[in-house]
Structure 1
Amino acid sequence: MVGAGVLVAAGAMQLPMWLSFVAITVAAVAGDHVAYWLGRRPGPRLGHGPAPRVIRFLLHNLVGAMGWAAVMFCGGYWFGTIPFVSRNLELFLLGLMAASALPGATAAARRWASRRSAARHHGKPWVPAAHRAAPH
């Protein structure tokens, strides 16, 4: 979303700011709904409860999505108005992608190091999962 704001501010995306903001808010609400329905656990569902609960959920979802879109998109739009950023869009967007991937890469590296360390402490040589024999 930050990248979208930068692109709109720099003129690389020919959309009005208000339309971009509305589209991002709709996407945030839709994404939250899809994630909720795909990730729900067995048991009573929100849709089976009283109507006020559903309405309250929808209202909170809309307000949260608008707040998220405002912070992310408008922050990106503000960055896009900085001359250095607008002149170096590719560099800025690559940096943004790298910064977004860093937490996942860090978590994967820590998990890998932890498994390797645990295998060493148990006196077994560490073997990548792809090379391990299937248990009998």
Structure 2
Amino acid sequence: MIAVVTPALVALGPLALLLVMAIVFAETGLLVGFFLPGDSLLFIIGALVASHVVHLPLWTVAAGVVLAAAAGDQVGYLIGHRWGPRIFARPDSRLFRQEHVAVAEEFFLRHGPVAVIAARFVPVVRTFTPVVAGVAMMPRRRFTIYNVVGALAWGIGIVVAGFFFGGLAFVAHHIELIAIALALLSLVPAATTVVRARRHRTPAASCDGAQSGGVQVRDVSVSP
């Protein structure tokens, strides 16, 4: 995916920011963005700004990413708060898998509300954690605070990292190869989380989830 997106960013120039914002929003706001290259995408746009391929101020790009990330999580939370159980009861498809929701649930249960921040840096998990938070009835104000903090840390941190490393000649000359490497590297935390989730899920819990027709979000300490 990133190998396709990177040439598009180069061709779009300043308009590349709009494409990046759309992808960042879709990754958490549309429930189908788990396959999108969030981390590597932010690094690449930062590198393209540093190499003057995208003629935009760094702060503009970072602000756009933070705005899209926060908005996406907010929509994901609202979806989970209002329609989560109904959505989770859906059968698996190419764009939705119960296993992904289960992984996000395990992540949320392990880390509590702080998972809203930590999930930003874990592909797949960041797509469904806002929804799980909504289903768990995490207070909206508290979720919004964690959401904004996570968006700032993720959006600014990775974009700025791409900007500074993008100034290196090697990075500038091998931008697509590095993008693919980053995309593969970003899957490591997600794979680790999947393995841990499978290891901690008991056969009885899996059976209960199957009988209820979807993933059940257990009690989580999310009081104001």
- Residue 41 of structure 1, aligned match among 103, 117, 135: 135
* Cα deviation, residue 2, structure 1: 1.7
Q: Distance in 2 between matches of 1:45 and 1:106?
A: 26
CA-based RMSD: 2.8
Alignment of 1:38-77 (within 5 A): 38=79, 39=131, 40-41=134-135, 46=139, 54=141, 57-77=143-163
**Match for residue 91 of structure 1?**
177
Q: Distance in 2 between matches of 1:6 and 1:68?
A: 16
- Residue 23 of structure 1, aligned match among 41, 64, 72: 64
Q: Deviations over 1:75-102 (max 9, x none)?
A: 1111101111012111111111121234
Contact persistence 2:44–2:175 (CA under 8 A): no
Identity %: 33
Distance 1:66 1:102, change over 3 A: closer
Matched length? 103
TM-score by length of 2: 0.39
Distance 1:106 1:84, change over 3 A: same
TM-score by length of 1: 0.60
Contact persistence 2:66–2:152 (CA under 8 A): yes
Contact persistence 2:62–2:156 (CA under 8 A): yes
Unmatched 5+ stretches in structure 1: 48-53, 115-136
| Structure possessing the higher relative contact order (Cα contacts under 8 Å, 6 or more residues apart) | 1
Unmatched 5+ stretches in structure 2: 1-41, 80-130, 200-224
* Cα deviation, residue 37, structure 1: 2.0
